[in-house]
A and B are shown apart, each in its own frame.
Chain A
C-alpha cells in the first residue's frame, strides 16, 4: 500500500511535464483556433487586395481604430465570464463625454473634465451592477434600460449639440492618449496593450479574478464557499463602465469632436470580439488573450471589407454571422463535452 502511494505520487508529479503540451492545446484550443482564423482571414485579404495589405498604412490604421472598441471588449470579457451581459456601454461612452462636456465648460480644467468622465463611467457601471445584483433584474433587460436612459439624458442635456475638442489638443491629454509614439504607433494602441495586460493580471492572478470565473461557473458553489458574488458582479460592471467612458474620451480626442451620438455602431463589433475570442456565452470561461486577438480580427474584417471593394453595409452582415457562428460553436462544444 505504501509503495503504491509513492508510485502514484511520483506519477502525479511527473504527469504535468509529459502532458503539458497536449493539455495546453486542449485548454486553449479555442484561442489557438482564433489565431488560425485570424491568420486565414489575413491571407484572404492579402490575396484579395495585396496592395492595401502589403503597405504599412493599413496596419497603422488598425492600431488607431481597433482600440476604440478593444478598450471595451477587454473588460466586457469579465462581464460575460461572470455570467452577465451589458448592452449599455455604447451609451456610457457618450455619458462620460457628457460629464466632460459639462464639467469642462464649468471649470475650464481638462483634468477635472477627464476625471469626471471616468467617474461618470464608474457610476453608470455601478448602477448597472446594483440593478442586476441588488434589485435582481436580468442584466439583459437592466442594461437595455440604462442604455436608453443614458442616451436620453445625453440628448436632453446637450440638446443634440456636440462639442469641439480642439482645446484638448494643447494639453498633455492629447499626446498621452492619441499621440503617435515615434511619430508612427498610435498611443491608444499602447494603452490597449497596457490595459489588456492589467486586465489579464487581475483576471488570472488575483482573488477577484478567480471569483469572476467561479461566480460565472457555479454561483451556488461560489456563494457556499464564501465568495462575495454580489460585489464580484458589481465590480465587473464598474470596470466596464470606467473603460467605456475612457474609450469614449479616446475616440472624441482622436476625431477632436464630441458627438452626442458617440458610441452608436460600437455594440456589435465589441460583442463580436468577445464571443469570437472564445468567451463562453454561458459564463465561467474566457480569456483576455482571446478577446485581444479577436478585436484585431474584427478590426481587420472591417478594413478588409472596404479594401476588398465591398460596401460597408456588409460589415453588419459579417458581425452578425461572427457572433452567431462563434456562439453556436461553443454551444455545440459544450453539448459534446457533456
Chain B
C-alpha cells in the first residue's frame, strides 16, 4: 500500500509540557485508521499537527506521498487534501443544505455571482447518491438546523469527499448520536473507504472504531503505544490491551509498548 502520510519521530512540546514525543505514524492511501486513546493521550495535538494547525518541534520528519514537507500549515494541509470534520463546528445551522455543502467554496459564474442553480442541482444529486437522504422533507433548501446528528455528519463527510479530500479526519463523530444514527455515521466511513480515500477515525468507543477500520493505532501519554492490523487481533484482545495500557502504560504485560511496531504485523 502506498503511503499517504508519514511521520517520523515527531514531538510537540508546549513550554515545558511534552504533549507528543517521538511519534511514528503512517497512513496509506485508502486506509482507514482508528485512533484510540484516553483523554490526554495526545490525540488532539496529533490531529492538529496533521492539519497544520500546530508546528511540530524541530527534529521530526513529515512526509506526504513520500515527499518531505518542511513547514506544514493549514492552507497547505487543505491543498494536500487533508480535511477534518468536527461534529459541533462543521455546519452552519441556519443556512440551507446547499450553502453548507459549498461552505467557503461557493462556485460563481463568469460575472462573479453565485451559481445558485448549479450548486442546488449538485446538492440534490449528492443527497440522493452520497448522503442517501430519502426523506421527502429534506431538499437542498432545507435549513440544516432540522437535521439529526447522523445526517449532519453525513453532510460534513459528503462535503469533504465532494471536494476531493484525500484524508478525512473524523474527530469523535459518533459522540452524542443515537444507535441508528451511529450506524449511519459508520456507513459514511465505509463510504470513504469505497471511494478510495483515507480516514483517521478518532473515537473513545472501540466498538465503533473496530468494525470500520483497517488498522488500529493506540496512543497513550503522548506517544504511539501500539498499532495493529485488524486481522491480528480480536475485539476482545484489543479491549484487554487498552485496559492494560490505561493502567500500566504498556500494551503487553512485562513488555515495552514501543516494541509493538506495525511493520511486524502480517498484513
Contact = CB atoms under 8 A, between A and B. Distances in A.
Q: Do A and B bind each other?
A: yes
Interface of A: 5, 8-9, 11-13, 15-16, 18-19, 23, 27, 201, 204-207, 209-211, 213-214, 217-218, 220-222, 224-227, 280, 284-285, 337
A11 B127 CA distance: 11
B139 A12 contact: yes
Q: Which secondary structure dominates chain B's binding surface?
A: loop
A273 to B, nearest CB: 21
A238 B106 CA distance: 23
A163 to B, nearest CB: 40
B128 A9 contact: yes
Contacts of B145: 337
Contacts of A218: 89, 91-93
A226 B141 contact: no
B48 to A, nearest CB: 12
B18 interface: no
Interface in B130-144: 132-134, 136-143
B137 A213 contact: no
B114 A205 contact: yes
Contacts of B91: 218, 221
B103 interface: yes
Q: Which secondary structure dominates chain A's binding surface?
A: helix
A226 B76 CA distance: 12
A224 B108 contact: no
Interface size class of B (residues with CB under 8 A): 35 or more
Nearest to A284: B94
Contacts of B129: 5, 9
A284 B113 CA distance: 20
A280 B142 CA distance: 18
B128 A206 contact: no
B75 interface: yes
Contacts of A337: 145
Interface string B206-238: 000000000000000000000000000000000
